[in-house]
Chains A and B, each alone.
Chain A
Amino acid sequence: MKLYRKRSERRPWEENESEGAVPWLFVLPSLLAVTVLVLLPFIDVVRRSFFSAMSGQFVGFKNYLTVFQNDAFRLAAGNTAKFVAVCIPLLLVFSLLLALLVNAFREKRGVFKTSFLIPMAIPVASIVLLWKVVFHENGLFNIFLGWLGAAPVDWLDSELTFAVLVFSYLWKNTGYDMILWLSGITAISPALYESAQIDGAGALQRFFRITLPGLMPTLFTITVLSLLNSFKVFREAYLIGGNYPNTSIYMLQHLFNNWFADLDVDKMCAGAVLMALVVFLLIMLLQRFWGREAQNE
């Protein structure tokens, strides 16, 4: 009895403001560091994006206009959009397929899970040389194509480089999405499958009636996470083409690097703010979906 009373006295102490400064002491180091190193400088970047770095004068949206009219920006933004449009659907479908296969294969599941996750651990730098040898005009992949009777292609520096980029990205990132799908699959209640089996539903029916609808929330999360992750595709592009790749894989990060090399602060600031806006919109989309889902539960 006494214990119980004491506990109920503790509850309010634990759960309202009377904790006072304690939580803040825990957050403080992180919050301070984030404020000084990320937040304040970003606010400064927003401010700078409306000023000219040279003269220090207010120029309104001029920097943004310059960015939009910049050919390199259009190329990079277009490539990035194209990459997202091609690669994300492939990534989602392929990783879902893998997850379903791994899930259906019970005994040696661990081996395959490990296999598909390993590329995540392989540093891009470690496979640069190998990629060169495989995709070079005189390389291994063209030998293979030669057996099939196809003419050799310069995979590393032509319009087709884009395909190599997509392949490399899938190679490295499918494992991550597969794990996300798998945790979505395990979250579906097994009771649903049991009752479906009793009702005589076939494998295909079970997939379309139970698995797929059950994975809808996961689908949305994975899409958004993959979208946001795809801004990191620079690493794979660098793996294929270094700093000056074929124009078909010239990405936003390359552009920012060029601006940086020229110390073109005006464009970098406006570009960063634009990027932040796009990402922020994507996050809002995710938030709305998560909110809706929470209501459904």
Chain B
Amino acid sequence: MKMRKWLIGMLLAFIAFFVWVPLWLLISGSLMGAEEMTQNLAPVLGNTEGTAVWPLLPMYPTLKPYIELLLDTPQFFAMFWNSCRQVFPVVIGQVLIGAPAAWAFARFHFRGKKILYSLYIVLMLMPFQVTMVSSYLVLDNLGLMNSVWAIILPGAVSTFPVFLMVRFFTSIPSALTEAAALDGAGPLQIFFHIGLPLGAPGILSAVVLGFLEYWNALEQPLTFLQDKTLWPLSLYLPTVTADNAGVSLVASVIMLVPALLIFLFGQRYLEAGISASGMKD
């Protein structure tokens, strides 16, 4: 029995290795000085002869690339700011618009609810290729193409967060809402004083999943933002060339940090959200 456990542990550790090594390389690589970086990666980025080297520990670790990025690269802040002002409004919008709708789907009975909810599920499962043209047509009509709104508006009306929150709102015991109604609380009061606090895990899992999704967004900004000064980090980093590899690696790490923090603090909600997305109703 002990032997078996040990074997399973080794196997799991081996697989986890594929996750931890890239992360480690990313962070250790960001501490390489510019010279070391050029030397190590030239065979890949500059197409010189030989093979690339990515040491597990940099020979001469230095924070210089970080300082360079933070002090001398104003474009980086512009990109980072672009990412923030596109992602946060999307997530906030999803909650503001989605939570009341989810509450209605979870707690009320009304004509057409079933059809409407099915429609929401269908919409949530549609890939970007389907909604891309229609979004473009609206955004173009509203004159919003090539502005942050082109990312925010379609993102904020996504129906996936609604679906997730419905799952969590439904699980609030109806005895609670009934008792509140008995005490004379109106529907709004019940929503704010019972629905929101008790449904918080659902809202948080929508927030965590939404953040990770949009922080990583590629398709939408690539299509709707022609102006490169509006590009978020997620779109800018893949276009990096050899001469600024060092800076881009640091930018990669800095971009990773918010996502990792949200992941680590919100892992519980993330897992709950994933499980909820797989449950049948």
Contact = CB atoms under 8 A, between A and B. Distances in A.
Given A45-B137, A129-B249, A138-B44, A180 B157 contact: no
A235 to B, nearest CB: 5
A290 interface: yes
A102 interface: yes
Contacts of B116: 27, 31
Interface stretch (B22-30, B61-69, B70-78, B196-204): B22-30
Contact of B104 (A27, A126, A133, A271): A27
A191 interface: no
Interface string A96-139: 00100110110010011111111111111111111011001011
Contacts of B120: 34
Contact of B129 (A111, A253, A280): A253
Interface in B217-261: 218-219, 222-223, 233-240, 245, 248-249, 252-253, 255-256, 259-260
B44 A29 contact: no
A234 B156 CA distance: 22
B5 A105 contact: yes
B126 A279 contact: yes
B98 interface: yes
B278 A139 contact: no
A10 to B, nearest CB: 6
Interface in B34-62: 41, 43-45, 49-52, 54
25 contacts: A3-B182, A7-B182, A10-B182, A26-B100, A26-B101, A41-B138, A98-B15, A111-B16, A120-B263, A120-B270, A123-B215, A124-B216, A125-B234, A129-B245, A136-B43, A179-B274, A180-B274, A183-B274, A231-B127, A253-B128, A256-B132, A272-B131, A272-B134, A283-B125, A293-B280
B237 A128 contact: yes
Given A29-B100, A138-B50, A242-B238, A125 B216 contact: yes
A113 B103 CA distance: 31
Interface in B89-103: 96-98, 100-101, 103
A280 B125 CA distance: 9
B12 interface: yes
Contacts of A122: 23, 256, 259-260
A276 B132 CA distance: 11
Interface of B: 5, 8-9, 11-12, 15-16, 18-20, 22-23, 25-26, 29, 41, 43-45, 49-52, 54, 96-98, 100-101, 103-105, 108-111, 113, 116, 120-123, 125-138, 153-154, 156-157, 159, 162, 178, 181-182, 187, 191, 212, 215-216, 218-219, 222-223, 233-240, 245, 248-249, 252-253, 255-256, 259-260, 262-264, 267, 270-271, 274-275, 277-281
Q: Which secondary structure dominates where chain B touches chain A? A: helix
A128 B240 CA distance: 9
B232 to A, nearest CB: 9
A42 interface: yes
A126 to B, nearest CB: 4
Contact of B98 (A6, A30, A136, A142): A30
A117 B270 contact: yes
A16 interface: yes
Contact of B108 (A23, A180, A238, A280): A23
Going nearest first, the 3 A-B pairs with the smallest beta carbon separation are A41-B134, A30-B101, A26-B104
Contacts of A27: 100-101, 104-105, 116
B129 A256 contact: yes
Nearest to A260: B223
Interface string A3-47: 100110010001111010011101101110110111001101100
